[in-house]
Amino acid sequence: MTRAVQKGLALALALMPLPVAGAPPAARPNIVLLVADDWGYSDIGSFGSEIHTPNIDALAAHGVRFANFHVAGSCAPTRAMLQTGISNHRAGLGNMPETIPPEHVGKPGYDTVLNHRVVTLAEVLHQAGYRTYLTGKWHLGKASDGLPTARGYDHAYSLADAGADNFEQKPIAGLYDKADWTEDGKPATLPTPFYSSTFIVDTMLRYIDAGRGSGKPFFASVNFLANHIPVQAPDAYIARYAHAYDGGWRALRAARQARAIAMGLVPPEMRAAVMRSTADWNRLSPDQRRAAARAMAAYGGMAEAADHEIGRLIDHLKATGAYDNTIFVFLSDNGPEPTDPRGRLFNRLVLGLLRDFTPEHQGERGTLTAIGPNWASAAAAPLAGYKFSAGEGGLRVPLIVSWPGNPAMRSGTIVGGFTHVTDIAPTLLALAGVPAQTGHFAGRSVEPMVGFSLADMLLGRRTHVHGDTPLGYELSGNAALFRGDYKLVKNLPPLGDGRWQLFDITHDPGETHDLSTEQPARFIGMRRDYAAFARRDQVLPMPAGYTADQQISDNAFRYWLPRVLPAMLGGAAALLAGGIVLWRRRRRATAKAR
């Protein structure tokens, strides 16, 4: 027996429920992976939020909260690491299709889809005898060999895009020409009526129930569109937050920071910087404040609606007897989204023809609602930064792991040691008693998993698993190197000034005190560590003036121009021809009159 197998079985046995005399051996656990989209660090109640999330909070009460858990700054790179336990560059997501500059397309590590040099968690679990299902957002490939059922899932109803409408089968206006939903690799038509969070859970329950008679455990990857743009929720949920945000974003940020401190998620002495992009609420007009509060009300409603659907899934598993032996993992794929499509005049003129931008209708069917950078800074509280950035507000998100029927789990506890999204796959494999692949799978060479199992942290045996091992990260030119309690980080403009800085993110998670001059040896050493990572993962420098926000607009323009230019030229030609005909007619009429 290999050491990897021995280690996996030992960890699994350690976490299994204690045997009862005369009872059959404990079955392998089911696994439910709950992935929220663009939720900030303090967007759930058990991390300091005012948003009503009782079902996620119940998982926290019966599980472990990870206060120092990190992902990538945007969705697809995180999902690649979550699915594989391998860095985003080595998995093919050095950047996303929406944000990659043309100069990087096709370069090693910049496939913009999950490459075939990596193996997914679903593939490993499927080979070990698990039923494997996925519903909701995929965003790791659109070709037939890149869809979930080609990457280890028995059944999948998935969206290949970054996001889509939540009430209808419509794309994000201006970014895609269709909402690319498929079921088991074939184009799918959404039902009517439809709301994304409800449908994603309904479909997963259908898959789980259909396979119950097999006697096999299941792995269910449940991927919500909530709270990606467009922010939309049923009216009743929005109404619950009608006046929750009348005090503005700075007041909300302060309140969330106080609650996070009181819960023990961040140190009581921590300082929090105000983002440069955060406007003065009191200088807004009453109409502007009402409109802003309505957008955040839609955001709160969307999050609560997703929590309600998580509750339905949990209740169903309780009713069918599967709940106690199910491991639940909840996380967000990155920090909150600061981009607001309505901020550009072109978008308001063009998208306004396709979507309702009326302030009082925000969050409803037919709208294109976004919370923008001001509320995003509050959603990330008490951290600095948000989606796309390498600040803690972009990379540090909530993580909850719960195994309700396992008495060895330290229910209701918080662990503060650094953890990373690449740790999830090896952790779940260890808990399931399945060895992680270490470079070979199904007779072929593959990238080995690099993450660490968190099983000892779940048991309370260790407070850290990464120790002093350096971990590098880069996306869109924003980069970080984590080592022990420290983080080396740089953000390109407009999120930063492009300079490397050094922070103790255990004691200063707000990243307010740069230690680069006080600890020069550490600073230089971590710079060397980052350079080694960048060479190994073939990280490319960004073009001058690059920003993710601008690249999204540029790539959308390149995508749409060849599709609309012929129609525009045809229309212009028709108008010109019509004008010539009218001009000739008038000229003839004038000549006859003479």
Question: Which sequence positions are flagged as catalytic?
Answer: 75, 139
Among 359, 274, 330, 375, residue whose Cα is nearest residue 45: 330
Q: If you search the block for the tokens 């002093």, which residue do you land on? A: 468
Structure-block tokens of residue 295: 């957008």
**CA quadruple 231, 237, 242, 246: dihedral, nearest 10:** -50
Query: Which element (helix H / strand E) includes 181?
Result: strand 181-183
Q: Is the dihedral of CA 201, 146, 118, 161 positive or negative?
A: negative
3-state secondary structure of 55: helix
**Helix orientation angle between 54-61 and 286-319, rounded to the nearest 10 degrees:** 50
By DSSP bridging, strand 478-483 and strand 486-490 are antiparallel
Q: Rounded to the nearest 5 degrees, what angle is found at the Cα of 96, between the Cα atoms of 348 and 347? A: 5
Side chain identity, residue 547: T
Q: Backbone phi, then psi, for 449, in 5-degree steps?
A: -60, 140
d(CA 439, CA 230): 40
Structure-block tokens of residue 576: 């010109």
d(CA 577, CA 583): 10
> What strands lie across the sheet with 471-475, from one edge to the other?
471-475, 478-483, 486-490, 501-504
By DSSP bridging, strand 30-36 and strand 326-332 are parallel
Structure-block tokens of residue 524: 């230089």
d(CA 409, CA 406): 6
Among 183, 196, 388, 429, residue whose Cα is nearest residue 277: 388
d(CA 295, CA 281): 14
By DSSP bridging, strand 155-159 and strand 131-137 are parallel
DSSP-derived letter for residue 171 is: B
Q: Backbone phi, then psi, for 494, in 5-degree steps?
A: -90, 0
